[in-house]
Amino acid sequence: MKQDEEIEMLLWDFIDGRCDATEQMRIQSLIASDSVWKLKYDELQSLHQNIQPGLEQPSMRFTKNVMEAIAHTQIAPATKKYINPYIVRGIAAFFIISIASVLLYALSITDVSTASTPSIIPFNTSKFHFAALFNSNTTYAIILVNIVLGLVLIDSMLRRRRIQEY
C-alpha cells in the first residue's frame, strides 16, 4: 500500500514536471519496463488530461474587480426586528428598580441628625467632628450616589459612541 502511494507521488511529480532530469530518466525507464508503473502512469495521465480543461484561470483583474465591487456595498445596519423592545425594557426596569430600592434603603438607614453642622464664620476645625459626619451609613450613601453617577456617565458615553458609529 505504501509502495503504491510512493509510486503515485513520483508519477505526479513526473507528470507535473517537478522532478530533475535524472529522476525523469529513471521514471521513464520504470514506466517502459514495469507494467505496474505503466498502468499507474496511464491512469494518472488520463486523470490529468480530464482535469486540465476544467481549470480556468481568472482574469488578471479578477481580485481587483471583486474588491471594487465589495467597496461599493455597505453593511446593512441592524434593524429593529432583531432587537426585542420588551427585553430591553425589562432589563431597564430591573436596573431602575434595583437602583431605586438601594437608594431608598440607603436613605432610610441614614441618620442625618448625627451629622454636626459647622459654624458659619470663623470656621473652627478643632470643634468639627469628622467622625460624626462620616459614619458608615453616610459613607454608604455617598458610595451609592457615586455608583449611580458613574453608571449614568458610562451610559452617556456608550450612547455617544453608538451615535457616532451610525
Predicted confidence at residue 121, as pLDDT, reads 47
Task: Kindly report the pTM of this predicted structure.
Answer: 0.33
List the grid coordinates of 166. Answer: 451610525
Number of neighbouring beta carbons within 10 Å of residue 29: 11
Task: Answer yes or no: are the C-beta atoms of 162 and 144 closer than 8 Å.
Answer: no
Q: Which helix (H) or strand (E) holds 146?
A: helix 136-165
Task: Answer yes or no: are the C-beta atoms of 148 and 99 closer than 8 Å.
Answer: yes
DSSP-derived secondary structure letter, 59: P
Tell me: the pLDDT tens digits for 5-56?
888 888 888 888 888 888 888 888 888 898 888 888 888 888 877 776 555 6
Predicted confidence at residue 124, as pLDDT, reads 56
Rounded distance between C-alpha atoms, residue 149 and residue 158, angstroms: 14
